[in-house]
Structures are given as C-alpha cells and as structure tokens.
A and B are shown apart, each in its own frame.
Chain A
Amino acid sequence: MRNVVWAMLPVALFSVYSFGLSALLVLITSTASCVITEHFLCRYSKKQSTVSDWSAVISGLLLGLTLPPGFPLWMTFAGGVIAMSLGKYIFGGLGYNVFNPALVGRAVLQAAFPVAITTWYPSFLENRFSSLPSSTFTFPFMEPVVDGVAGATPLSAFKFDHVTTDTMELALGQISGSTGETCAVLIILGGLYLIARNMMNWRIPVAVLGSAYLFSGLMYLVDPQVYPSPMFMLFSGGLMLGAVFMATDMVASPITPLGAVIYGTIIGLLVIIIRIWGGLPEGVMYAILLANAISPHIDNMIRPRVYGTSKRLSRS
C-alpha cells in the first residue's frame, strides 16, 4: 500500500508549496494522529500493531488533504482520532470498515466545526513560508479567530456569489481550497500511476467523473446561466481528489467491475445533486459516504454469472 502514499505525495507537496507552513502542519498532524491512534487501538485490543501496513498513513494523509490550510491543529488531531476509531477500528480494523475512514473523520469535523472547516486561505500568499495564520494554533476546545485574509473557494464563490473560475486555474491549482484538492493535474497523475501499477480500479474514477460530467453537462445545456459548465464541475472542489483517492478505497467499494461502475455513477450523480440543489457548496464527502453505505448491497446484487450456471442474480 506504500504505492498509494507515493501517488499522493506530489499532491501533498504541491499543497505545501501553494499554502505554505499551515498546510504542512495540517498534513503532519493528521497523519501522526491517525498513526498514533491506530497504534494505541491495536495495543488496547491486544492485536499485533498494523501501523506497518501503511493504511493509517494513507488515511491520515487523505484526511489532511481534505482540510483547509490553517485548520486548527487540535481539530485536525481530533479528526484523525475519530477517523481511526469510529471510521475503522470500531468495525474491526483494516478490511472491515464500511466507510472510508478519512471521510468519517472529516464528516464529524464538518458537523462539529462548520465555520473552521469552511474558512479558506488564498494560495500563494507572500508570507506563507514565514508566518502561520493565527487559527493554526487555536487553543484546544476554542473556536479559531478568523483572519481578515480568508478567501472563497471556487465552488462557494459560485454558489453564493455566482462567480465562475477559469478551468485552467482550477486544473493547475491557482485557487484556494482544501490543502489537497487544488491541483487537479497532480491528482490525475497520481491516479494514473496507481492504475498503471494495477493498484486502483480505474472504473471508479472514470464512472464518478463521467457521470458528474454528463449530468452537469445536461443541466448546463438546460440553462447555462444558472448552472455551471461541466468542466468547472469536474475540476473544482474535492471531486477530483475524491474520485481518485477516496471513492477508490477498496474496502468500501464494490468488488466486481460492473458494481464499481454503478457505485462510481451514483457518486457522480450525488455530487452534482448536492452541489446544485443542496445547502452546501460541496458534496463529494457525503456522496462518497452514501455510496460506501450501499456498496455491500451492490456486491450482493451484482454478481458475475458463475461458470456453468444460468442465473445472473444470487439465489438468496
């Protein structure tokens, strides 16, 4: 699983490059939090430590990549603890989690700290390597004080002010957003690397992005004034990161090729529905968590025809 870490590394490095020290601290904290939590949970349950299988590192990095730079570190740490304990260990550890653990952590953070998690800092600030936003070191159990420099993400700018951002800026990460979601090109490269190493089911990202593109394209054709272009939808927010690194969590996604396509399609549709009609500007997290929940049912219903039998569906 180390390869997944290698694939995410360029994305993480770019986020440090564009957001500076605050992003670096968020990523380090989230990763450390997940690894430490996993270690202690293993020790507590008297199992052999599973830290060495790298899955906690992956979850930690993923969690960090979904959080805004400048996110209070104590909240980040709490998110990692929740991701590992409620997202993974409570179900029995690696291989048994129903949901993507990193997203469980983030969902709790989103519910608990709605302001902090939607406070975005612009990228490429002059002083990003020399100073930190005051929110980073917010005292535990305190809400952060928002600096005056907070910037809107392309999605919230669109949702609330109806301003669209140029696709090239989105693809190359010249925008504000969560630490890891801004540079679509690096995310795609990481995904291609994993697909080439046969470590990712390519059908999932393709189905997620394809269905999101088609559905939002349809809406765009209906009324281009109200609905954003499909390219904007694809490259903004966490869709790319979610499609490539989150939806593809093997444990929480269907095992058959057809099941994977159905699962991906559902995620794509849900993302667009939440983005267009929901109260939040972004819907990738909830779309993936919902699809995670139905993934076992997809596996139950979609079964390849067994050699020598005529039934496509199970007998049960």
Chain B
Amino acid sequence: MGLFDFRKNTFKHGVHPPEHKDETNGLAIRQFPFAPVVIIPMAQHIGSPAEIIVREGQEVERGQLLAKATGYVSVPIHAPVSGTIRKIANVPTISGKMSPGIYLEAFPSSSQEILEGTPIDVETASVEEILKGIQDAGIVGLGGAAFPTHVKLKVPEGKHCEVLIINGIECEPYLTTDHRVMLEYGEDIFMGIKYLLKVTGAERAIIGIEANKQDAADYLESIIPEGAPVTVEVVPVKYPQGSEKMLITSLLGREVPSGGLPIDVNVVVVNVATTAEIGRLLPHGRGIQERVITITGPGVKKKGNYLIPVGTPLRYVLDQVGVDEDISEVYMGGPMMGVAVSNLDISIVKGTSGIVVFTHKDVKKQQQIYPCIKCGACVDACPISLNPSKLGILAKVEEYDVMAENYNLLDCFECGSCSYVCPSHIPLVQYFRLSKSIVRKRISAKQKAEHAK
C-alpha cells in the first residue's frame, strides 16, 4: 500500500445494470407464514441428493432430521416445520428435473419450537468436529450456488489458507438479502467468522462489501469484536463484483488460476449469509430450516425481505405477497444469474436468494436476434477477458471442442455480462451454459472410456 500501489480496488471490465435495490433494502427481515404443506426436494444442493429417513404418516418436529447426507459432497435436510409426513414422492425442481421429495403438512397452531442437537463450541471443538457440524447442519452456499459449505472449507493437504473473505457484495440487481443480513445478523456473522477462521486456519478475514451498502459496512465495522483479525473493505459497485474470482482480485490483487480454486491463491471465500447461518446454528447444533429471501420486482405488491421456511411452495409465496394479474416472468435468484422458472409448482430451496417477478409490461417483447456484427461490446464487458463474440459464433456452428480448447470456454462462469450488453440481443450466456455442459459430458465420457481400457 502507499504511493506506488496501482491496484485499482476492483477487477477489469464488467457492467452496470440498474440496481433496483432501493425498493427493498430498507425493509427489515420479517418471518413468513408457514404454508399448510411444504414440499421439500432432496436434490437442492450440488452433489448427491439426501436420503430420506422418515416414512409417510410419521410426525416430525421442526429441526428434526428428514434425510441424511449420502457421501462427502452432500448435506442432510431438516424439517422446516413441525407436522406430519403426508407423502414421499418425486417433486419438480427448478432445473426441470424431478427429485425425490417430501410433502410435509404443518400442524396448525403449533408453536413451532425448534429441536436442538449437539452444540458445537467454537473454543473446544476440533477442526474436524466443526466441519462435521457444518455438514450436519445442512449448510450450503446461500449466495445461490448451494454448494456444500464444509467441502469448500476443507483446506486440501499441502495447501494453506491465508485470508478468509466474507462475501457481502451482493452485486445481483434487485436482491437485498445479504444487505439485510449484515444489518440485522451482525453478531451471528462474527460468530460464524470465528468458526470459519478456526476451520480454515486463516490468519485474517476480510468482509468485502459493495459501496452501495455503506451502512452495512459502517455497522459491521463498529461491532468487530475486540482483537478479532477482521477488517471491512468497501469495493466499487460493478457487476459481477460478487463472483469469488473477481472479489479476490478486487480485494487482494490476486488471480485465481484458470481451472483452479481460490485456495490456490491461499484464499477461501464464504458468502455472508452462509457465515451468519453457521454462527447462528452451530452453537445450538441446529439444522437449517429457513433462509432470508428478497421478494421484489414490479409485479409484487408486498415487497420485502422474508425469512421463509425451506420447502415453502413458490405458489404459496406469491399468493401471500400478492402479485399482479399479468405476471410474465418469475426469477429465482436475480435477473442476471438467476433462472426464470418454467413451473410455479416448485418450492423454495436453500439456494433461493430472491424471487423477482416481472409483468408483461416490464418484459420487452421477444426481441429479434440479429447477427453478431463484432461490435466488441461483449469483449469490453467480459470480466475474465474472453471473446464472447467468437464463442457465440462457434457455438452456433456447434464447434464446442474448439470453444473449450482455443477460447477458454470452461473459464466462463456465466455472469451474463455479455448477453446484457449485446446490441443484437444474442443470448450468449445461454449458448455458453449449453456448450459447457456438452463439453463437460464429452470430457467425462472420454475419461470413462480411458478408464475402461
């Protein structure tokens, strides 16, 4: 730091979509009512689905284990409400695939006390015990990826974690859950950081916050516990600042190598809401049953930040907040990286960070897609300096291998900046999502074939 520090405190390129955060960032988190029946899919995290350990007709208490983890990259699922298991059957999920699931009918007028498990004391527990505790609590990345957190926290043999980054960026337009969590769950966040520092062995932690949440940064800064090696750093507002790689570059000036993980540059990044959840659940040995979700968008009547039980049907949520007659699109997550749902019969899952509803008025008519004129807007937007124009042309002619081998397709993390700026309305990021999954399938098929030899 000093006179010769040319670090810009942010990453290259990126875009500035309208934020629309003012509509909900002043609204405190409120408890959402319990739906009469919650529908809980077993596949709601990355990795293998949880295995159901209850049977139809059984009565369960809120916080009781419903399904156990199957393997290392998997987490258990806890009952979000006290009630009766009505049915065990396949349920729809946001990806369009069906998943084994549980229909749980809530007891009317139950006090919904939460069952407690074995508390994990941050001072006395070992690293392994804390990791196990995080897995047992069913914790996954609440920023949206839903990757099991204990896997991410496990520092591999021979690697060393120097800095723990708590990701409070929330660069996705419309969403304000992390903002509210930082303003309201400050104590939990610092408790969570305590666990995380111990687990990763990091020397210090940085809470990274975008400049549009200065109030949260000021508040967290004011309550840093005495002697805790934690700093709060504010970075410029720019999408996709909240992506792990971009945030590491902005805060530390390091670049995660292509195909690598943050730990390769001695960093572990954890979302701020995930951190708060760890700090809230572990001291009581509880499992995750609910999460904070921003419900907003021009089609919503009662916008806000709600604490919603996992498994609450999307249709029930929309009924409760009230939506316009002519809703056109419902996004889970934000409009940039979220998914427009094709089926309102899905449920809230652990990875749901927001629900954004647009009406027909707001969604422009299916815009005509023009050919790429190589204007270069996408090249100027791509935060990792890919050439989306060339990749898009290659995708259209199905040259997936060329895309991966010569144009770094697999480095794309699907932030959607290219599609956002494209004047020809080419759905570039959709092309890349598809191309990536095809390339991945080809690679794994090849590996299997080689294995068989």
Binding site for B on A (CB under 8 A): 53, 93-96, 201, 250-251, 253, 255-256, 299, 303-309, 314-316
- B371 touches which of A94, A201, A314 (Cβ 8 Å): A94
Residues B372 and A201 in contact, CB atoms below 8 Å apart: no
Residues A315 and B406 in contact, CB atoms below 8 Å apart: yes
Residues B385 and A305 in contact, CB atoms below 8 Å apart: yes
Residues A95 and B258 in contact, CB atoms below 8 Å apart: no
Closest chain B residue, CB of each to CB of A96:
B371
Give the 10 A-B CB pairs with smallest separation, nearest first. A95-B371, A307-B384, A308-B258, A304-B385, A255-B376, A309-B258, A306-B408, A250-B375, A308-B257, A250-B373
Q: Which residues of chain B are near A250, meaning CB under 8 Å?
A: 373-376
Tell me the B110-149 residues at the A interface (CB within 8 Å). Answer: none
Interface: B414 (CB within 8 A) = no
Of the listed stretches B60-68, B159-167, B293-301, B386-394, chain A binds B386-394
* Mask of B366-401 contacts with A, CB within 8 angstroms, 1/0: 000011111110010001111101100000000000
Given contacts A94-B371, A306-B258, A307-B383, 15 further A-B contacts (CB under 8 A): A94-B370, A95-B373, A201-B376, A250-B375, A255-B379, A255-B387, A304-B379, A305-B385, A306-B384, A307-B255, A307-B258, A308-B258, A315-B405, A315-B406, A316-B405
Given A256-B376, A316-B406, A308 and B255 contact (CB-CB distance below 8 Å): yes
Q: B369: shortest Cβ distance to chain A, in Å?
A: 11
Q: Which residues of chain A are near B187, meaning CB under 8 Å?
A: none
Q: Which residues of chain A are near B183, meaning CB under 8 Å?
A: none
Residues B385 and A53 in contact, CB atoms below 8 Å apart: no
- Give complex CA distance A89, B231 in Å: 60
Residues A94 and B373 in contact, CB atoms below 8 Å apart: yes
Binding site for A on B (CB under 8 A): 12, 245, 249, 255-260, 370-376, 379, 383-387, 389-390, 405-406, 408, 411, 424
Q: Which residues of chain A are near B387, meaning CB under 8 Å?
A: 255-256, 299, 303-304
- A256 touches which of B12, B379, B406 (Cβ 8 Å): B379
Residues A255 and B256 in contact, CB atoms below 8 Å apart: no
Q: B379: shortest Cβ distance to chain A, in Å?
A: 5
- B372 touches which of A95, A256, A306, A314 (Cβ 8 Å): A95
Q: A292: shortest Cβ distance to chain B, in Å?
A: 12
Number of A-B contacts (CB under 8 A): 70
Q: A209: shortest Cβ distance to chain B, in Å?
A: 20
Sampled A-B contacts (12; CB under 8 Å) = A53-B370, A95-B373, A250-B373, A250-B375, A251-B373, A255-B387, A256-B387, A305-B385, A306-B384, A306-B386, A307-B411, A308-B258
- Give complex CA distance A251, B258 in Å: 30
- A299 touches which of B370, B390, B424 (Cβ 8 Å): B390
- Give complex CA distance A96, B389 in Å: 12
Closest chain B residue, CB of each to CB of A252:
B374
Closest chain B residue, CB of each to CB of A198:
B377
Q: Which residues of chain B are near A304, meaning CB under 8 Å?
A: 379, 385, 387
Most chain A C-beta atoms within 10 Å of own C-beta, residue among B249, B408, B424? B408
Closest chain B residue, CB of each to CB of A93:
B371
Q: Which residues of chain B are near A307, meaning CB under 8 Å?
A: 12, 245, 249, 255-256, 258, 383-385, 411
- Give complex CA distance A300, B383 in Å: 20
Closest chain B residue, CB of each to CB of A315:
B406
Residues A308 and B384 in contact, CB atoms below 8 Å apart: yes
Closest chain A residue, CB of each to CB of B256:
A308
Q: Which residues of chain A are near B260, meaning CB under 8 Å?
A: 308
Q: Which residues of chain A are near B406, meaning CB under 8 Å?
A: 314-316
- Give complex CA distance A308, B11 in Å: 12
Q: B78: shortest Cβ distance to chain A, in Å?
A: 37
- Give complex CA distance A315, B411 in Å: 15
Q: Which residues of chain A are near B370, meaning CB under 8 Å?
A: 53, 94-95
Q: A11: shortest Cβ distance to chain B, in Å?
A: 22
Q: Which residues of chain A are near B371, meaning CB under 8 Å?
A: 93-96
Closest chain B residue, CB of each to CB of A94:
B371
Q: Which residues of chain B are near A251, meaning CB under 8 Å?
A: 373-374
Most chain A C-beta atoms within 10 Å of own C-beta, residue among B249, B256, B387? B387
Closest chain A residue, CB of each to CB of B371:
A95
Q: Which residues of chain B are near A93, meaning CB under 8 Å?
A: 371
Most chain B C-beta atoms within 10 Å of own C-beta, residue among A299, A307, A314? A307
- Give complex CA distance A299, B376 in Å: 11
Closest chain A residue, CB of each to CB of B246:
A307
Q: Which residues of chain B are near A256, meaning CB under 8 Å?
A: 376, 379, 387
- Give complex CA distance A308, B373 in Å: 28
Residues B411 and A306 in contact, CB atoms below 8 Å apart: yes
Closest chain A residue, CB of each to CB of B380:
A257
Q: Which residues of chain A are near B258, meaning CB under 8 Å?
A: 306-309
Q: A262: shortest Cβ distance to chain B, in Å?
A: 14
Most chain A C-beta atoms within 10 Å of own C-beta, residue among B12, B385, B386, B405? B385
- Give complex CA distance A299, B408 in Å: 15
- Give complex CA distance A306, B249 in Å: 14
Q: B386: shortest Cβ distance to chain A, in Å?
A: 6
- Give complex CA distance A120, B405 in Å: 54
- Give complex CA distance A144, B449 in Å: 72
- Give complex CA distance A110, B406 in Å: 40
- Give complex CA distance A158, B236 in Å: 56
Q: B224: shortest Cβ distance to chain A, in Å?
A: 32
Closest chain B residue, CB of each to CB of A305:
B385
Q: Which residues of chain A are near B249, meaning CB under 8 Å?
A: 307
Closest chain B residue, CB of each to CB of A259:
B376
- Give complex CA distance A253, B373 in Å: 10
- Give complex CA distance A201, B373 in Å: 13
- Give complex CA distance A62, B373 in Å: 18
Q: A220: shortest Cβ distance to chain B, in Å?
A: 34
Q: B407: shortest Cβ distance to chain A, in Å?
A: 8
Q: Which residues of chain B are near A253, meaning CB under 8 Å?
A: 374
Q: A260: shortest Cβ distance to chain B, in Å?
A: 8
- Give complex CA distance A96, B383 in Å: 26
- Give complex CA distance A268, B44 in Å: 59
Closest chain B residue, CB of each to CB of A255:
B376
Q: Which residues of chain A are near B255, meaning CB under 8 Å?
A: 307-308
- Give complex CA distance A299, B375 in Å: 13
Q: Which residues of chain A are near B424, meaning CB under 8 Å?
A: 95
Most chain B C-beta atoms within 10 Å of own C-beta, residue among A95, A96, A255, A256? A255
Q: B323: shortest Cβ distance to chain A, in Å?
A: 36
- Give complex CA distance A315, B401 in Å: 13
Residues A306 and B374 in contact, CB atoms below 8 Å apart: no
Q: Which residues of chain B are near A316, meaning CB under 8 Å?
A: 405-406
- Give complex CA distance A165, B381 in Å: 45
Most chain B C-beta atoms within 10 Å of own C-beta, residue among A53, A95, A305? A95
- Give complex CA distance A309, B374 in Å: 24
Residues B245 and A308 in contact, CB atoms below 8 Å apart: yes
Q: B367: shortest Cβ distance to chain A, in Å?
A: 13
Q: Which residues of chain A are near B373, meaning CB under 8 Å?
A: 94-95, 250-251
Q: Which residues of chain B are near A201, meaning CB under 8 Å?
A: 376
Closest chain B residue, CB of each to CB of A256:
B379
